[in-house]
């Protein structure tokens, strides 16, 4: 298991992969919808395909949105946006996993249709076979004469046809064919005519797409497509061709979805590892604010602690004053005023009292943001100038040292002073 920062960097990089995956899914779904529009006459079977392609487009859109959220989060350092991204990854992982289960179940169910070689077990297979056999009996009969080219048929077949000058060339051109056709479906459908038309359209599309004829059998001429289009491919059963077509597409979908599941497992693992990381909780989020400096609890307590200036009883024991330091401050306009902020790139400091004119500079102490200044043994603070280089300017700061030295302090402000909290 990698560190928090490593997992976060990997999560950020995968956001770009999510965006690309989403765009590929959207484009692929649109192309497949256009290419397979020829199968729209498959009826409800085509509706399943159409729903699958539409679902692919929606998943692609979801992937793209997640990718954009992740990219925005890392560029803007937005903790809330990154949290939404990680939650979206988990939801998408669950959805894709469930889709894979449904596809596998469909593939198993499809094998049952293939095993029904005589079309006598599954209701859909029975209805398709009944429709095909009834259509074959109706076409080129006395109730539905046809206009067939005798060259396209064997003599024994052609001799059984009924012809007319204005005869039909395919079954659905017969007047009121839904009433003339004699079919006993496995169920008593209320919308019988619509159901029959869907089956006829499916069989016509199968003959046109696969050059087959017959259902659970073979036939020497076309029934549902133009009868003069020629001879069907020998030995091609429309049932086998139809099921093989569906099976091939389901296998492709399962392979693609399985790859997505493996990919999403990696993405989800990284998202969960960053969400549940103790380091994220300690930092208060995935990203720290740029102007934020963390201070340990003990130092924070020291920085807000009330500290008294040296009592009057101790003032006479301090050495002689050196006023040069204060004069330098006056010359440089660096005197600290009450409640006036001093700014740098890292913090804003508020000083509660003016800088006294009788403080003597003792020694240089390097200022480190976030580190509490030391105290002398008696707990008596001494204010000292520290020059902090921050880009273009130096800002004097107030800090304690362990060397006390004030003499003849004269200031109207004898109240407590609080050090600034960074």
Does residue 144 carry a pLDDT above 80?
Answer: yes
Q: How confident is the model at residue 89 (pLDDT cuts 50, 70, 90)?
A: very high
Beta-carbon contacts of residue 33 (< 8 Å; ≥ 6 apart): 50, 53, 54, 57
- Mean pLDDT (the chain) is 70
> Who's near 197: CB < 8 A, 6+ residues apart?
172, 178
Q: Please give the average per-residue pLDDT across 138-145, as a whole number.
A: 89
Counting runs of H as helices and runs of E as strands, what totals does the chain give? 12, 6
Q: Could you tell me which residue, 417 or 259, shows the higher pLDDT?
A: 259
Where are the domains positioned within the chain? 4-116+243-283, 123-230, 293-422
Provide the pairing of β-strand 393-397 with 417-418.
Answer: unpaired
**Residue range 261-283: average pLDDT?**
87
Give the pLDDT band of residue 20 (cuts 50, 70, 90): very high
What the block records as the tokens of 206 is 């199968």
* 407 vs 8, higher pLDDT: 8
Highest-pLDDT range among 187-196, 247-256, 387-396: 247-256
DSSP string, 214-257: -SSS--SS-SSS-TTS-PPPTT--HHHHHHHHHHHHHHHHHHHH
Q: What sections of 77-122 are H helices per DSSP?
A: 79-115
Q: What is the pLDDT of residue 289?
A: 55
Q: What is the pLDDT of residue 117?
A: 80
DSSP labels for 299-338? HHHHHTSEEPPPPHHHHTTS----THHHHHHHHHT----T
**Tens digits of residue pLDDT in 352-370:** 334 444 433 333 444 444 4
Percentage of the residues of the chain whose pLDDT score is greater than 90: 9
pLDDT category at 380 given cuts 50, 70, 90 is very low
Q: Read off φ and ψ for residue 142, nearest 5 degrees.
A: -65, -25
Query: CA separation (Å) from 11 to 16, 67, 74, 390, 404?
Result: 9, 10, 10, 34, 54
Higher-confidence residue of 79 and 385: namely 79
Least confident range from 43-47, 116-120, 155-159: namely 43-47
Instruction: Inform me whether the pLDDT recorded for 262 exceeds 90.
Output: yes
Average pLDDT over residues 58-81: 89
What is the pLDDT averaged over residues 70-85?
87
Cβ neighbours of 45 (radius 10 Å): 18
In contact, 376 and 417? CB cutoff 8 Å: no
Contact predicate 186/120, CB 8 Å: no
pLDDT at 107 over 90: no
Q: Average pLDDT in the 96-108 region?
A: 87
Conformation bin of residue 208: beta by default, left when phi > 0, alpha when psi is -120 to 50: alpha
- Phi first, then psi: what are they for 260, rounded to 5°? -65, -40
CB 205 within 8 A of CB 38: yes
* % of residues, the chain, pLDDT over 70: 63
Angle formed at CA 418 by CA 324 and CA 382, multiple of 5 degrees: 35
Please state which of the ranges 94-108, 237-251, 297-311 shows the lowest mean pLDDT.
Answer: 297-311
pLDDT digit string, tens, across residues 284-330: 778 765 444 444 444 444 444 444 344 444 443 333 333 444 444 44
Please, what is the Cα angle at 327 between 323 and 332, to 5 degrees? Answer: 150
Residue 353 CB neighbours (<10 A): 20
Kindly state the average pLDDT of the residues 404-415: 38
Q: Which of 288, 305, 241 is nearest to 78 (CA)?
A: 288
Flag whether pLDDT at 416 surpasses 50: no
pLDDT at residue 265, rounded to an integer: 93
Identify any residues that bridge with 403 across adjacent strands, giving them in sequence order. none
Give tens-digit pLDDT for 197-229.
888 888 888 898 889 989 998 888 899 998 888
- 334: pLDDT strictly greater than 80: no
Distance CA(101)–CA(123), nearest Å, equals 24
């Amino acid at each position: 298991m990698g560190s928090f920062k490593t997992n976060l960097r990997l999560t950020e990089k995968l956001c770009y992969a999510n965006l690309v995956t989403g765009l590929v899914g959207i484009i692929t779904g649109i192309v497949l919808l256009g290419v397979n529009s020829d199968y729209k006459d498959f009826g409800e079977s085509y509706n399943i395909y159409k729903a699958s392609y539409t679902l692919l487009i929606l998943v692609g859109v979801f992937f793209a949105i997640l990718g954009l959220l992740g990219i925005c989060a890392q560029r803007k350092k937005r903790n809330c946006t990154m949290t939404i991204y990680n939650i979206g990854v988990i939801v998408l992982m669950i959805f894709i996993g469930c889709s894979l289960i449904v596809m596998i179940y469909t593939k198993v169910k499809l094998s049952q249709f293939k095993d029904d070689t005589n079309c006598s077990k599954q209701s859909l297979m029975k209805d398709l076979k009944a429709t095909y056999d009834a259509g074959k009996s109706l076409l080129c009969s006395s109730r539905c004469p046809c206009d067939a080219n005798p060259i396209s048929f064997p003599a024994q077949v052609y001799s059984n046809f009924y012809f007319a000058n204005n005869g039909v060339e395919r079954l659905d051109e017969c007047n009121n064919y839904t009433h003339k056709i004699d079919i006993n479906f496995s169920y008593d459908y209320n919308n019988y005519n619509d159901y029959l038309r869907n089956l006829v359209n499916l069989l016509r599309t199968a003959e046109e797409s696969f050059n087959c004829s017959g259902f659970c059998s073979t036939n020497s001429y076309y029934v549902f497509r133009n009868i003069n289009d020629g001879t069907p491919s020998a030995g091609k059963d429309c049932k086998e061709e139809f099921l093989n077509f569906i099976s091939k597409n389901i296998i492709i979908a399962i392979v693609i979805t399985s790859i997505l599941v493996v990919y999403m497992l990696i993405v989800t693992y990284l998202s969960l590892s960053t969400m549940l990381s103790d380091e994220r909780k300690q930092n208060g989020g995935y990203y720290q604010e740029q102007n934020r400096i963390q201070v340990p609890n003990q130092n924070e307590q020291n920085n807000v602690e009330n500290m008294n200036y040296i009592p009057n009883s101790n003032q006479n024991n301090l050495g002689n004053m050196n006023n040069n330091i204060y004069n330098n401050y006056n010359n440089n306009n660096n005197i600290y005023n009450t409640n006036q902020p001093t700014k740098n790139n890292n913090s804003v400091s508020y000083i509660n009292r003016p800088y006294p004119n009788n403080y003597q500079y003792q020694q240089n102490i390097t200022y480190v943001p976030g580190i509490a200044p030391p105290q002398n043994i008696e707990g008596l603070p001494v204010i000292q100038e520290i020059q902090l280089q921050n880009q273009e300017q130096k800002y004097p700061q107030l800090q304690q040292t362990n060397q006390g030295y004030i003499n003849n302090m004269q200031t109207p402000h004898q109240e407590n002073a609080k050090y600034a909290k960074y």
